[in-house]
Amino acid sequence: MSERKNFNHIQYILPSLLFILLIFLIPIVYTLVISFFSWNLLRPDLGIKYVGFQNYLQALKNPFTWETIGRTFYFVIISVLLELIFGFSLALSLNTEFKGWKIVQSIILIPFMIAPVVVGFAWKFIVNNDYGPLPHLLINLGLTSITENPLLANSTTAMFMVILADVWEYTPFVTLVLLAGLKALPQEPYEAAYVDGASAIQRFFYITLPLLRPSIMVAVVIRTLTSLRVFDTIFIMTGGGPGSATETLSFYGYRLAFQSYQMGYSSTINLISFFLAIIFTLIYMKLIGWDSNE
């Protein structure tokens, strides 16, 4: 009888397993296999040759790969940190119901509902030196150097502008996850702390933050994984430039595959990005204190 129940359970989850197999596992396995081959679409006469770990060794010896990893780390850490700070602040503000709070929630979620390509075009317009509002605002504040060094043409400010666009788009997602976590928190610990005379700051650090760790974990991990594969916004706003100032691993992999047509080497770079995503996730789990017993 138990075997029949187990079979029924497998039937229920089989469609989901097949979906995961088709959408996730097959591309990953294909990319992994291709990474062990030398395959240049511009040189069909050379064919596809098995080179083992040569692509990985070449990538690790290439200084540009490490520069790209550093830019990717910078983008992920800064953007996720800012989104967590702003998202947490908004979630705490919206946790108290007030007149029109549902309308405010809907307005805040608008950036998250916009496609990344549209966000890229919108922010490219905002930071344009000729007609964008942001450069004119900064010039009026006395930053006249922007007229000579446009925000997206400066290697220092270009990455920050891309980060700003990413933060604007995905802060609503972090707000939504943390707000859901806040709404689900039990009230008994707060009532007991209030009776014991705990201040608002003490209740925040000793009750809210510990109880909200699972929600923070979900928001941070999801945003880290999506930030590691950022492409649309960078492609539209800067195209990886100026030079390679905004080129992350995902964009580097795209450029190798669809501009240089080095399919094997591109697969290697994409797998490095995949491994970094796993490392980031494990680090977050360790820092936040997530374990199997919680």
Closest CA to 265 of 58, 64, 62, 63: 58
Place of tokens 């007991």: 192
Q: Please indicate, yes or no, if residue 42 is contained in any of the structural domains.
A: no
- d(Cα 148, Cα 42) in Å, to the nearest integer? 40
Q: Please indicate, yes or no, if residue 11 is contained in any of the structural domains.
A: yes
Co-location of 4 and 113 in the same domain: no
Number of H helices, E strands in the chain: 16, 2
pTM for this prediction: 0.87
Co-location of 67 and 129 in the same domain: yes
Co-location of 75 and 147 in the same domain: yes
Co-location of 110 and 202 in the same domain: yes
pLDDT of residue 8: 63
Co-location of 78 and 137 in the same domain: yes
Q: Please indicate, yes or no, if residue 82 is contained in any of the structural domains.
A: yes
Co-location of 3 and 134 in the same domain: no
Q: Please indicate, yes or no, if residue 56 is contained in any of the structural domains.
A: no
Structural domains of the chain, count: 2
Q: Please indicate, yes or no, if residue 44 is contained in any of the structural domains.
A: no
pLDDT of residue 294: 45
Co-location of 200 and 93 in the same domain: yes
Co-location of 144 and 27 in the same domain: no
pLDDT of residue 293: 47
Q: Please indicate, yes or no, if residue 49 is contained in any of the structural domains.
A: no
- d(Cα 67, Cα 168) in Å, to the nearest integer? 26
Q: With a cut of 70, which residues of the chain have pLDDT below it? A: 1-9, 144, 288-294
Closest CA to 59 of 75, 36, 77, 43: 36
pLDDT of residue 292: 45
Containing 38, the helix (H) or strand (E) segment is strand 37-38
CATH number at residue 182: 1.10.3720.10
186: containing domain:
63-288
Q: Which residues neighbour 227 within 8 Å (Cβ) at sequence distance 6 or greater?
A: 75, 76, 79, 80, 166
CB under 8 A, 24+ apart: contacts of 285-294: 285/217, 285/221, 288/213, 288/216, 288/217, 288/220, 289/213, 290/213, 290/214, 290/217, 294/213, 294/214
Co-location of 200 and 255 in the same domain: yes
pLDDT of residue 287: 73
Burial class (CB in 10 A: 0-12, 13-18, 19+), 112: middle
Q: Please indicate, yes or no, if residue 293 is contained in any of the structural domains.
A: no
DSSP 3-state assignment of 289?
coil
- d(Cα 39, Cα 191) in Å, to the nearest integer? 65
Q: Please indicate, yes or no, if residue 228 is contained in any of the structural domains.
A: yes
Co-location of 87 and 228 in the same domain: yes
Containing 49, the helix (H) or strand (E) segment is strand 49-50
Co-location of 167 and 121 in the same domain: yes
Q: At what angle do helices 213-228 and 263-288 cross, to 10 degrees?
A: 160
Cα atoms found within 13 Å of the Cα of residue 231, Cβ hemisphere only = 11
Co-location of 100 and 147 in the same domain: yes
- d(Cα 278, Cα 226) in Å, to the nearest integer? 12
